[in-house]
Structure 1
Amino acid sequence: MAFFAYILRCNDGSYYTGHTEDLEIRMAQHQTGALGGYTAKRLPVVLLWSQDFPTRDEAFEAERQIKGWSRAKKEALIAGDWSRVTELARNRQH
């Protein structure tokens, strides 16, 4: 079974990072506001990035790490620009 870390863009332009074991179900939950909280007040949301991980712990760790990143670093990840992600990490602009 795979687990996923993901980034959503909310209607207000903000990003939301989470993790789940079923990305399709979780997206439906976010889109309907069923989960409440942050995304429910910022609908609709759009999935911008996701990555699968072999364990829930690894997906959760990725979520926690990404949540600490700057908007610029998240955007580099979403774009798949690993050189920019590395550059921003080196410059400590997390």
Structure 2
Amino acid sequence: MKTYYVYILTNRSGTLYTGMTNDLQRRVWEHKFSDVPGFSKKYKLDRLLYFEQTENVSAAIEREKQIKGWKRTKKLELIEAMNPMWEDLSWDWFETNR
């Protein structure tokens, strides 16, 4: 059975990005180090602040949509409940630092 993740990334400016994937480590790598054009490249999203997992892809998609629909203050409450210091939860996942 696959595992699906809903996650929130940020950058130095505090921009928030919510996404969903079935491979969190790969997806965070892509956000941090990939040169693929798009929102995460434009805003240099490189810090994983929050994630949750489920084995139900539909639940993950719905949860991503739910979080994306929230106001910033509610997203901050969610992040700070899990990660009050806003640490990069993926800081030790990769040997490469750019």
TM-score under structure 2 normalisation?
0.75
* Change in 2 beyond 3 A, CA 1:53/1:40: same
Number of corresponding residues: 81
Q: Is the 8 A contact 1:33 1:39 kept in 2?
A: no
Please, what is the CA RMSD of the aligned residues?
1.6
1:14-57 CA distance string (max 9 Å, x none)? 10000000000000011123443101111142000000011221
Q: Is the 8 A contact 1:10 1:16 kept in 2?
A: no
Q: Is the 8 A contact 2:9 2:45 kept in 1?
A: no
Moved over 6 A (4+): none
Three-state SS of the structure 2 residue aligned to 1:80 is helix
Aligned to 2:26: 25
Three-state SS of the structure 1 residue aligned to 2:53 is strand
Give structure 2 stretches of 5+ with no counterpart. Answer: 83-98
TM-score under structure 1 normalisation?
0.78
* Change in 2 beyond 3 A, CA 1:71/1:45: same
State the alpha-carbon separation in 2 of the partners of residues 36 and 62 from structure 1.
Answer: 25
